[in-house]
Amino acid sequence: QVQLVESGGGLVQPGGSLRLSCAASGVTFGSSVMSWYRQAPGKERELVATRTTSDGNANYADSVKGRFTISTDNAKNTLYLQMNSLKPEDTAVYYCNAFPLSELVNYWGQGTQVTVSS
């Protein structure tokens, strides 16, 4: 049974930082593509960042390049998203996504709210 549990969301002022975590269980973490998505009210879910756990290759949406960093701790089966220089437009529910390469199936966490406001 796959479980992805996000944590670390909250309210932060513009320019502030947050670190999101996603604890994964039931997936072959070491050979997966792990990603963060976000969905703002009234908007479609969008890809924020993605990382291949086997080789560490990472990609980012243009809107977050240079501000966000995706990382993994393969020993802890945990995905992270370090978010710096946060802007009000970063406000959204952030979702963890796992795509195990052995299954080719998408798994989702329940989401964590990030609100950037003064």
- Say yes or no to pLDDT of 15 above 90: yes
- Say yes or no to pLDDT of 29 above 90: no
Q: Rounded to whole angstroms, how far apart are CA atoms 33 and 100?
A: 6
Query: Which tokens belong to 47?
Result: 């890809």
Position 91 scores a pLDDT of 98
Position 48 scores a pLDDT of 98
Contacts of 51 (CB under 8 A, 6+ apart): 33, 34, 35, 57, 58, 59, 70, 71, 72, 79
- Say yes or no to pLDDT of 88 above 90: yes
Average pLDDT over residues 70-99: 96
The pLDDT mean for the chain works out to 95
Position 103 scores a pLDDT of 87
Position 35 scores a pLDDT of 97
Query: Which tokens belong to 49?
Result: 């960042």
- Say yes or no to pLDDT of 31 above 90: no
Position 95 scores a pLDDT of 98
Torsions phi, psi for 106 (to 5 deg): -90, 135
Average pLDDT over residues 26-52: 94
Based on DSSP, count helices (H) and strands (E) in the chain, helices before strands: 0, 11
